[in-house]
Amino acid sequence: MFLGNQNKTMIDIKFENMIKISPNYKLTSFILLDDVKGWSDGYMADLTNINLDVMKLKALTKKDKLDKYFIEKGHRPKIELIIKQIKNLKGEPITDIKWRLLDNTVLLKSKKHKAKCNPSFIKYFVNAYKPLGTISLSLYGKLKPIEVKIGEERVGLIMPITNY
């Protein structure tokens, strides 16, 4: 769907433009996850280890400046509690993207749902996973995370600021 098609649709062009003007992701906290090989900052979670070493190194070099830094086995949260919320639901692909200048967020729309999120989280996934293929985003409804996939594989979750 995004960043990979030769025949670009309007949503592909909007997505590419959003990535171009989005700020780069800044690590504010670093939490290793207990039940997957990834990490989280509390607002988004990378569920694979593709970028784990890079982010762990960044976190170690600025450990004293981070809001949260958990690496010990007993302190690691489990992502399965969040994934359970969407496990049996069918996600809806993004059909429109609108940049919100008032608060520098993006509004993602599907047929039934909308979610407002920080565009730097999406840019993180685009930069981390671009070599592996096309990224897609899905919405699941109110109080549910935004799912990030490469093909059929879930690679991340983004907690929206609001969704409805």
Tell me what percent of the residues of the chain surpass a pLDDT of 90.
Answer: 68
Q: How confident is the model at residue 89 (pLDDT cuts 50, 70, 90)?
A: confident
Beta bridge pairs of residue 31: 40, 70
Above 70 in pLDDT, residue 1?
no
Above 70 in pLDDT, residue 80?
yes
Give pLDDT tens digits for 12-62: 999 999 999 999 999 999 999 999 999 999 999 999 999 999 999 999 999
Q: For 52-56, 77-81, 156-160, which range has the lowest pLDDT when averaged over its residues?
A: 77-81
Question: Which spans in the chain are helix H?
Answer: 10-21, 52-61, 80-86, 119-129
- Give SS3 for 158: strand
Q: What whole-number distance in Å separates Cα of residue 147 and Cα of residue 136?
A: 8
Burial class (CB in 10 A: 0-12, 13-18, 19+), 63: exposed
| Paired tokens of 72 | 């010990």
Above 60 in pLDDT, residue 139?
yes
Above 60 in pLDDT, residue 5?
no
Q: How confident is the model at residue 2 (pLDDT cuts 50, 70, 90)?
A: low
pLDDT at position 6: 60
- Higher-scoring residue by pLDDT: 160, 89: 160
Q: What whole-number distance in Å separates Cα of residue 54 and Cα of residue 15?
A: 25
Q: What whole-number distance in Å separates Cα of residue 151 and Cα of residue 7?
A: 18
Q: What whole-number distance in Å separates Cα of residue 137 and Cα of residue 16?
A: 13
Overall pTM surpassing 0.75 (yes/no): yes
